[in-house]
Amino acid sequence: MSAEPIIEVAGLHKWFGMLHVLSDISLEVEAREVICIIGRSGSGKSTLLRCINFLEEPSAGKITVDKLVVAAGGKGREHRRLVHNIRLKTGMVFQEFNLFPHMSVLENVLEGPVTVKRMDRAKAVEIAEMNLERVGLLFKKDEYPNRLSGGQKQRVAIARALAMEPKVMLFDEPTSALDPELIGEVLNVMKKLAEEGTTMLVVTHEMGFAREVADRVVVMAEGEMIEEGRPADVFNSPRDPRTQALIERYRSGGAK
148: pLDDT strictly greater than 90: yes
2: pLDDT strictly greater than 50: no
9: pLDDT strictly greater than 60: yes
* pLDDT at site 4: 87
* pLDDT at site 3: 67
| Chain segment 215-236, per-residue pLDDT in tens | 999 999 999 999 999 999 999 9
**Which whole number is the average pLDDT over 108-125?**
95
SS3 for 208?
A: helix
Q: Please give the full DSSP string across 117-164, using - where no structure is assigned.
A: S---HHHHHHHHHHHHHHTT-GGGTTS-GGGS-HHHHHHHHHHHHHTT
* pLDDT at site 254: 57
pLDDT band at 7 (very low <50, low <70, confident <90, very high): very high
Counting residues of the chain whose pLDDT is more than 70, the rounded percentage is 97
CA dist., res. 174 & res. 119, Å (int)? 27
Q: Which of 128, 108, 101, 86 is nearest to 120 (CA)?
A: 128
* pLDDT at site 232: 95
Helices (H), the chain: 45-52, 76-88, 105-111, 121-134, 150-162, 180-195, 207-213, 231-236, 241-251
From first CA to last CA, the distance across the chain in angstroms is: 34
Counting residues of the chain whose pLDDT is more than 90, the rounded percentage is 91
The full length of the chain comes to 256
pLDDT band at 251 (very low <50, low <70, confident <90, very high): confident
pLDDT band at 249 (very low <50, low <70, confident <90, very high): confident
Q: Which residue has the higher pLDDT, 75 or 28?
A: 28
pLDDT band at 88 (very low <50, low <70, confident <90, very high): very high
**Which whole number is the average pLDDT over 124-136?**
97
CA dist., res. 78 & res. 74, Å (int)? 8
| Chain segment 49-72, per-residue pLDDT in tens | 999 999 999 999 999 999 999 999
> Taking all residues of the chain, what is their mean pLDDT, rounded to a whole number?
94
